[in-house]
Amino acid sequence: MLAGAVLLGLSLVVASRANSLLVFQLSYGVIVGLAASAFFAPMIALTTTWFDTNRSLAVSLVSAGMGVAPMTISPFARWLITAYDWRTAMFDIGIMAWVLLLPAVFLVRQPPAAAAAGDGAPSPAADDPGMSVGQALRSPQFIVLGLTFFACCAAHSGPIFHMVSYAMSCGVAPMAAVSIYSVEGLAGLGGRVLYGVLGDRLGVKPVLVTGLAIQGLVIAAYLTVGQLEQFYLLAIIFGATYGGVMPLYAVLAREYFGLRIIGTILGAATMLSSLGMSLGPLAGGMIYDATASYHWLFIGSALIGLGAAGIAIAFPPQPSRQKLQMA
C-alpha cells in the first residue's frame, strides 16, 4: 500500500503535465490503475483476518471509504476544473494523495495471529481448506465468485461512468449532474453498512443474490427518468446496492478459502472485477458514438446485472454447512 500511495500521487502529477496522448495513457491509464490496485484487495484481505464475528459488517465499514470519494473528491475536482483547468485539478489531487495516504499507510497493522506466524509461530488452520492456489483458482467456488464479480462490475460500471453525461443529455445542468454521482457515493456508505449487517444475520449468499437482482432492475429504471429528483431517487437505491454488494465478495472468499491464501484469491477475483469495470465504460462510449443514445447501454447493463444474480445462485454451499468442493 505504501508503493501504491507513492505511485498514485506520482502518476497524477505526471499525467497533469503530459504533452502527448501516449504519456497521458501510460501515466493515468496504466500507472494510476496499478496504484489503485494496491489498496482494495490488500486492505480488504487484511480486514477479513482481523475479524471472526461480524465479518461482513467489518469489511463493509472498511470498504465504505470507497464511497467517500464520489461525494467529496468528485465535486472538488469539478470545482477545480471549472475554476482553473484539468491539469491544475489533477496536479492538486496528486499532491493531496501523497499528503493523505503516505501518513495513513503507517497506521496499517497485521493481526496478532498473522504477526505471530510471520515470526515462525504456528498459525491457526481451523478454517484452512488445505487448497493450493492452483486448486483454489480451478475450484467451482472461485469460478462462480470470479464470474459473478466480473458480471456485477460489468453491469454497473457503464452506468456509473456515463451517468453524468446521460443526465446532461436529459437536460440536467453539469454541476447538478455531477452531484448525482455524489449522491450515489453517499448512498453507498449506508448501503455497505446495511448489506454488511444483513450478510451477518441472513447469510452472505442470499443477500448478494438479492442485491444483484435489485441492481439490475434499478439500472433498467434509469431509462424512464429525466428529472434531477428522479435521478437522485434512483441514485440512492443504485449507490446503496452496488456499494453494498461489493464487500460481500471478500467475505465469501474468506469463508471458502481461509486465511492462508486469501490475499491471492481476493486479488485474482478483484482482477476479474476490474476487467468487468473496464468493459462498461468502453461499451457505453461505443454505443453512444454509434447510436447517439445511452439507451442500449442501460438495457445491456441491466441484463448483465440480472445475469450476475443468476450466476450467484450457483454458489456452492458455504464451508460452515458442507465441505469445500474440490476441482
Please give the DSSP secondary-structure letter assigned to residue 27: I
- Which residues touch 32 (CB under 8 Å, ≥6 apart)? 7, 8, 11, 12, 15
Residue 185 has pLDDT above 70, yes or no: yes
Q: Name the CATH code of domain 66-83+131-312 (choices 1.10.1270.20, 1.10.3720.10, 1.20.1290.10, 1.20.1250.20).
A: 1.20.1250.20
The pLDDT value recorded for residue 55 is 82
pLDDT confidence of residue 113: 63
Q: For the residues of 235-293, what is the DSSP string, one character each?
A: HHHHHHHHHHHHHHHHHHHHHHHTTTTHHHHHHHHHHHHHHHHHHHHHHHHHHHHHHS-
Instruction: Give the confidence band of 158 by pLDDT, cuts at 50, 70, 90.
Output: very high
Looking at residue 70, its pLDDT comes to: 64
Nearest to 197, CA basis, from 72, 33, 54: 54
CA distance 244 to 214: 11
pTM assigned to the model: 0.75
pLDDT digits (tens, 9 = 90+) for 25-68: 999 989 998 898 888 788 888 888 888 788 888 888 887 777 67
Residue 272 has pLDDT above 70, yes or no: yes
pLDDT digits (tens, 9 = 90+) for 71-113: 678 788 888 998 999 999 999 999 999 999 999 999 988 877 6
Asked if 252 contacts 209 with a C-beta cutoff of 8 angstroms, the reply is no
**Whole-angstrom distance, CA of residue 97 vs CA of residue 36:** 11
Query: What is the residue-wise DSSP string for 174-197?
Result: HHHHHHHHHHHHHHHHHHHHHHHH
Average pLDDT over the chain reads: 86
Q: Do 27 and 48 meet the contact criterion of CB atoms below 8 Å apart? A: no
pLDDT class of 127 with cuts at 50, 70, 90: low
Top-confidence residue, 263 or 313: 313
Q: What percent of the chain has pLDDT over 90?
A: 45
Residues with Cβ within 8 Å of 26's Cβ and at least 6 positions away in sequence, in order, are none
Instruction: Tally Cβ neighbours within 10 Å of residue 236.
Output: 18
Residue 325 has a pLDDT of 45
Q: Which cell goes with 35?
A: 496504484
Confidence of residue 263 (pLDDT cuts 50, 70, 90): confident
Task: Annotate 290-314 with b (16+ C-beta within 10 A) or e (fewer).
Answer: eeeebeebbebbbebbbbbbebbee
pLDDT tens-digit readout, 217-254: 999 999 999 889 999 999 999 999 988 898 888 888 88
Q: State the average pLDDT over residues 290-297.
A: 92
Categorize the per-residue pLDDT at 322 as very low, low, confident or very high, splitting at 50, 70 and 90.
very low
Q: Are 169 and 294 in contact (CB under 8 A)?
A: yes
Grid coordinates representing 310 are: 443468476
Confidence band of 117 (pLDDT split at 50, 70, 90) = low
Write the CB contacts of 27 (distance below 8 Å, at least 6 apart in sequence): 11, 12, 14, 15, 18
Report the residue count for the chain: 327
Closest CA to 153 of 36, 271, 43: 271
What pLDDT sits at residue 267?
87
